[in-house]
Chain A
Amino acid sequence: MLTLTKLERPVLILLLFLPIMTGVSFYLYKKYTQTTQDIHSITYTNLVKEKSTLIHNFIDHMHSNIGENAIQRFDTSSELREDFENRLRVLVTSEVKYLYMLHYDETSEELKLHYTLDTAIDEDEKAYFNQKFDAQSDIWEKVKKTKKEQLNQFLELDTLWISLVVPIIENGEVVAAIGVDFSNDARSKINEVVDPMQTLYFYIAIFMFIMLIAAYLQFILYYKTNRQGHIDPLTKIYNRQYLTALLKRINLSHYQIFMLDIDHFKKVNDTYGHDVGDIVLQSVSGRISSITRANDFFIRYGGEEFILLINKQHTNKTQKIAQRILDIIQKDPVHTNEESIHVTISIGINPLPENSANFDAALKLADEQLYLAKNNGRNRFEITS
């Protein structure tokens, strides 16, 4: 089993680095989006505050010039309306789309609003005096009830952003109100600046996510290919290529080398045929695999030869392990469709490979012990002294 600890360092770094970078990218995108909203909010607050102050000043100025019943006076004098429309028009700035004054229809039980003043110049936009106004929201009603200014954000309309409605109070009652519609242009200008950056952050985050997915897919593919190339197709245990790769990344001094060979295997092949020989190989390797631990390595070295690298950090019971292997092999015969074959193995052990110059030299010592075990009668193990 290929575990994380056995992964190569660059792969590990990639697997850790990419998720972190992807997370950071998404965090930055979210943070930038939040900042954009904050900018809108600050702009919105400042715009509204500034305009509210100016409109309150206008209302004070209107009352001080015309008196407390200014709205009634507008009803009868078109010159007065024109004069104050011009004065109100001074408050129209680039961020203001529409600025107008409406009066409440006191004769109606329902809320009805009519134009008093309208700063629009365009013929199609300018409303007639007393023209009905279709209120799109309840802010006009709220202004009437609360006698306080109200704000409304347009969600359905493209050209308008927010509306500010400031009450005109005469004799203690809200008789009219001034409406300011802020243009979406102000927001669009902010968006023009921030949108490219926001889009950039978004694409970086998406790019990192795609990279992450691609890296994981590559890793899975690499893992599968690597595993297939390192597994013996007959016995399903590691092969010699795996041993070569393994030796590059393990410290051999942490392992004991067991060299194993099936006794009289050639005779099995000659007597029963290669198919039965294959079954014997599968059975022997399966039994040995069943008693190895996760941190041991069991390898088919070639033909009927196997190498077992026993991790000695967790055990120093070399002889017990060797005997267990012998026992599990000879305990039961290998059953084929027609035969029951008694099989034994011989084992040569080099418990101290660190004393050799390299793996080949250490393996040679184990092989010599295997040769000795064979000469001493087979179905036994020998250990270097």
Chain B
Amino acid sequence: MLHGSDESLATKIYISIAKELSGVSVPTFYLHGEIKFLHNNRAIKTTKTCEKADIIIINKKLDLPAGCEEKAIFSTHYRTYLKNENIVGSFFWQKGRPNIIFRRAYLEENKIRLSQSFQKYID
């Protein structure tokens, strides 16, 4: 469970990641599964369908509706990320710290170039 300021930090990181992956200045999120602090979060723009989303955030479940495969999927759960190679990256909390990881193979395959500030998170 995240505390108030941690949630605020996490929201900012999610927005940065979404901007980086989509290239959109105000990215639209599709949230799949229970991601408590992002639901009803006024700082982000959300949609109820994958089609309109710029980024998909999942927790542990991967049972995404049809049409979602084409979009960049990010997980809040490190193990889910490890198990599924079609997930571009993961942002998760471990040891009280925010951790970000991007999958090099996915980025290369989809010709996504991350800016310098995100390079250190590519695994």
Interface residues of A (CB under 8 A from B): 97-98, 100, 110, 120, 124-125, 127, 132, 134, 136, 154, 156-160, 181
Given the complex of chains A and B, what is the CA–CA distance between A134 and B96 in angstroms?
12
Of A100, A110, A132, A156, which is within 8 A of B95 by CB? A100
B29 CB to nearest A CB, Å: 22
Contact indicator A157/B94 (Cβ below 8 Å)? no
Partner of B94 from the list A124, A156, A158 (CB cut-off 8 Å) is A124
Complex Cα–Cα for A125 and B101 (A): 16
Decide if B94 touches A127 in the complex (CB within 8 Å): yes
Total interface residues in chain B, CB < 8 Å: 17
Contact of B96 among A127, A132, A181 (CB under 8 A): A181
- Interface pair B95/A181, CB less than 8 Å apart: yes
Contact residues in B for A154 (Cβ distance below 8 Å): 96
Residues of B within 8 A of A157 (CB): 5-6, 96-97
Question: How far does the Cβ of B101 sit from chain A's closest Cβ, in whole Å?
Answer: 7
Answer whether residue B3 sits at the interface, using C-beta atoms and an 8 A cutoff.
yes
Q: Does B39 contact A (CB under 8 A)?
A: no
Q: How far is the CB of B87 from chain A (nearest CB, A)?
A: 16
Asked whether, in the complex, the Cβ of B95 is within 8 Å of the Cβ of A158, the reply is no
1/0 contact string of B73-117 vs chain A (CB within 8 Å) = 000010000000000000000111111110000000000000000
Residue of A nearest to B95 (CB): A98
When distances are taken between beta carbons in the complex, the residues of chain A under 8 Å from B70 are none
Q: A110-B120, A132-B123, A134-B121 are in contact. Are A159 and B98 (CB under 8 A)?
A: no
A97 to B, closest residue via Cβ? B96
Q: Which 9 A-B pairs have the closest CB atoms?
A: A158-B3, A159-B96, A98-B95, A160-B96, A134-B99, A158-B6, A136-B97, A158-B5, A157-B96
| B26 interfacial contact with A, CB 8 Å | no
Inter-chain CA distance A159–B2, complex, in Å, is 9
- Cα–Cα distance between A110 and B6 once the two chains are bound (Å): 27
**Interchain residue pairs with CB less than 8 A apart (30):** A97-B95, A97-B96, A98-B96, A124-B77, A124-B94, A125-B94, A132-B99, A132-B101, A132-B123, A134-B98, A134-B99, A134-B100, A134-B121, A136-B97, A156-B5, A157-B5, A157-B6, A157-B96, A157-B97, A158-B3, A158-B4, A158-B5, A158-B6, A159-B3, A159-B6, A159-B96, A160-B96, A160-B97, A181-B95, A181-B96
Most chain A CB within a 10 A radius of its CB, from B5, B95, B98, B120 = B95
Contacts of A98 in B (CB 8 A): 95-96
Contacts of B120 in A (CB 8 A): 110
Cβ-closest chain B residue relative to A120 = B95
| Cα–Cα distance between A127 and B77 once the two chains are bound (Å) | 12
State A242–B4 Cα separation when bound (angstroms): 64
Query: Per-position contact with A for B58-80: 1 when CB-CB < 8 Å, else 0?
Result: 00000000000000000001000
Contact, CB under 8 Å: A125 / B95: yes
CA distance A134 to B77 in the complex (A): 16
Tell me, yes or no, whether B35 is within 8 Å of chain A by CB.
Answer: no
Distance to closest chain B CB from A365 (angstroms): 83
CA distance A63 to B77 in the complex (A): 36
Report the minimal beta-carbon distance from B25 to chain A, rounded to whole angstroms.
25
